Structure 1
Amino acid sequence: MKTLTLLRHAKSGWDDLVSRDFDRPLNPKGQRAAAMMGRHLRSLKLHFGHVVASPALRVIETLDHVSRGYGSVLAPDWDQRVYLASAATLLDVIHDLPADAGEVLLAGHNPGLEELILLLVPEGGALRDEVEIKFPTASLAQLHFAGEWTDVRRGAAELAFFVRPRDLDPTLGPDTP
């Protein structure tokens, strides 16, 4: 069985004056949420044989804060294809994962990550319904697949969990600074 954990970057700072979207940093709430999600990954005793991520600054900073909470450095393969990728492009990235990687962390952006989950997980089920409502910043979802990465296709995944920062700390919800 293959396990794919998806991580959306944490909340970024729209107030920062940067010339490119690619260079937007995290805001303080995003930094807190990312560290908390790292602690949550550690509490679940998850380990990743491979990490692939968008090279956008907000993803780099998210993984840095997740690593701090996780207690171990996550050393991703930075893949430009993941930056603002569609579900179809993310599926190509998944098909290209190393065959020997059993547990993979993929860090990127919406709407692609949310659309990927909705593509891969069959309709029905409370968790999928929650993802369909919204896959917020710094959220985690874990998918399980039978077979190889090259076999991953529409409706082939089991959604094992979906966790939003506010599920772990209500102060990280949408109505708090």
Structure 2
Amino acid sequence: MKTLGLFRHAKSGWADPRARDFDRPLNERGEKGALLMGRYIRDHGPRFDRVVASPAIRVSETIDIASKAFGRSFPVEWDRRIYLASSATLIDLLHALDGDPDTVLMVGHNPGLEDLIFDLVPDDGSSPLRDEVEVKFPTAAFAVLALAVDRWSDVAAGCAKLVSLTRPRDLDPTLGPELVG
């Protein structure tokens, strides 16, 4: 059995319209969400043996801020292939993990992370959490999947159960969808 955590970067801004997508930083709401979710992961998430992440600015800032909630930093394996990756690419990255750690946290982007959940968790009506992801896997969302495999190289479609899903708005309603009045 393997455990996979998926953490989508927090809310980023478009303050500089000339900035490349890769270079977009978190906005104020994103900073608040990253700190809140970091505390949640510290208190309720599994202990991760390995962290792999996109090197995009909004991901690195999410990790930096979430680390403050842990009270320590942790080693991150930066992999540019995670930036805007498809589910197939993310599965390939999982297959190639060295050392076969028991628990892995992947920090990245949509639609790849959301699609990875759809590919790994069967759509058989048994997972109300999967149905929630179908509604939206928003910025700073955190999901934990239990994979019925002994090695990461065995990860395949339908091998996982979505154990938990937490969104910033679940912890602080002010971090939910912005209402247009």
What's the TM-score bracket when you normalise by the shorter of the two chains? over 0.9
Q: Deviations over 1:15-67 (max 9, x none)?
A: 23443110000001000101111100111153111000000000000000111
2:125 matches 1:113: no
Aligned partners of 2:154 and 2:36: how far apart in 1?
33
Q: Is the 8 A contact 2:100 2:152 kept in 1?
A: no
Matched residues in 2 for 1:42 and 1:50: separation?
Answer: 15
Tell me the SS of whatever aligns to 1:47: coil
**What one-letter code is carried by the residue in structure 2 that aligns with 1:81?**
R
Residues in 2 aligned to 1:137 and 1:145: alpha-carbon distance in whole angstroms: 23
* 1:99 Cα deviation from its structure 2 partner: 3.7
Letter paired with 1:130: E
Q: How does 1:26-175 map to 2 (within 5 A)?
A: 26-44=26-44, 46-123=46-123, 124=125, 125-146=127-148, 147-175=150-178
Give CA-to-partner distance per residue, 1:57-93, whole Å, 9 cap, x none.
0000000011111222132100010000000101111
Aligned-partner residue type, residue 141 of structure 1: A
Alpha-carbon RMSD across the aligned residues, in angstroms, is 1.2
- Give me the whole-angstrom Cα distance separating, in 2, the residues matched to 1:95 and 1:39: 29
TM-score, with length taken from structure 1: 0.95
* CA shift digits 1:94-126 (9 cap, x unpaired): 111124311111000000000000000011221
User: What amino acid sits opposite 1:40 in the alignment?
Assistant: Y
Percent of residue pairs identical = 57
Supply the distance in 2 between the matched residues of 1:16 and 1:82 (Cα, whole angstroms): 24
Q: Answer with 41-50 or 56-65: which moved more.
A: 41-50
1:174 Cα deviation from its structure 2 partner: 1.3
Q: Contact (CA 8 Å) 2:38, 2:65: kept in 1 or not?
A: yes
Runs of at least 4 residues of structure 1 off by over 6 A? none
Listed as ranges, the gaps of 5+ residues in structure 2 are none
Deviation string for 1:103-150 (max 9, x for gaps)?
111000000000000000011221000001110000000111122100
Q: Distance in 1 between matches of 2:71 and 2:146?
A: 24
Match of 1:20 in 2: 20
Alignment gaps of 5+ in structure 1: none
